[in-house]
Amino acid sequence: MKRLPTWLLVVLALLSIASYASAADKQTCVDAYDEGQKQRAAGSLKTALELFKVCAEVGCPAATTTDCTQWVVEVEASMPTVVFAASDADGRDLSDVTVMVGNDKLATKLDGKSVSVDPGKRIFRFEREGASPIEQEVVIKQGEKNRKVAVSWKQDGGGTDGPTEGREVRISPGTWVLGGIGVAGLTVFGILGGLALSEKSDAEDTCAPNCADSVVDSIRAKLIVADVSLAVGVASLGAAVVLGVMSALDSQEEPSSKAAVRLDLAPVEGGAIGVVSGTF
């Protein structure tokens, strides 16, 4: 039996290897074609895009290349993107921040560029050396582009993923008591003052200057009570404002005792004066 030339054996071996590699490449294209569609349907657009890019390569069968090329365009159009931002307690931008989603690292620094993410509910974890991490839950919509996701680190090294929570503001119960007294006083002043002026006008039209003492006394009594009510109302509202401001500024301190409010009326010439006192 005649032996084949060595060069021919080499050529046949190379052709065999090339044929095997070509078959393997085609299978890779087909697998990427099928799996890419599954990932896209599941909402994993980033994975689907990478698979479609594989089956869109020139070496793949024409049937897969045509479809995958179109799918690459469609997925890129519907792929959401976000822009991450972070700031310190003074509002200065930070760049030395890493952003994670689960075990996937989306960014190792913040440079203002958009990042592709899959749609759906996502929990972004912002990490920075020397500071507590911040997590922010966001619902990413398909097709949403350049959505800003920002966090801010507070002075103590902790963080916030929403409105910064300040100190708890506590308003003393005495504030509400005084405010209620003030409103009631002004209400009584308005009612009695209006009645007194109405009766005075009627008296001037019907019996002045010889009106009965009972008529005059009734008008005078209403005016006195109205004046006292006005004084009490104004004083109470003023005290309520002062007490409210003081209790808000001192809201982190525990009250030494329960609030106690006392209202005293003292007669003076031509009327009376109201005195509001108490401990808070």
The tens digit of pLDDT for each residue in 221-279 reads 888 887 888 888 788 888 878 887 887 777 555 444 444 545 555 555 555 555 555 55
Between 25-34, 147-156, 163-172, 185-194, the lowest mean confidence (pLDDT) is in 163-172
The tens digit of pLDDT for each residue in 69-105 reads 999 999 999 999 999 999 998 899 999 999 999 889 9
Would you state the pLDDT for residue 235? Answer: 87
More confidently predicted of 240 and 108? 108
CB count within 10 Å of CB 212 equals 10
Could you please report the per-residue DSSP string of 204-255?
A: HHHTTTS--HHHHHHHHHHHHHHHHHHHHHHHHHHHHHHHHHHHHHTTTSPP
Could you please report the per-residue DSSP string of 204-216?
A: HHHTTTS--HHHH
Residue 223: CA atoms inside 13 Å, Cβ hemisphere, count?
Answer: 12
Q: How sure is the predictor about 206, in pLDDT bands with cuts at 50, 70 and 90? A: confident
**Helix spans in the chain (H):** 6-41, 45-55, 62-78, 173-206, 213-249
Distance CA 177, CA 16 (A): 96
> Quick check: 147 pLDDT over 60?
yes
137: tokens are 């839950």
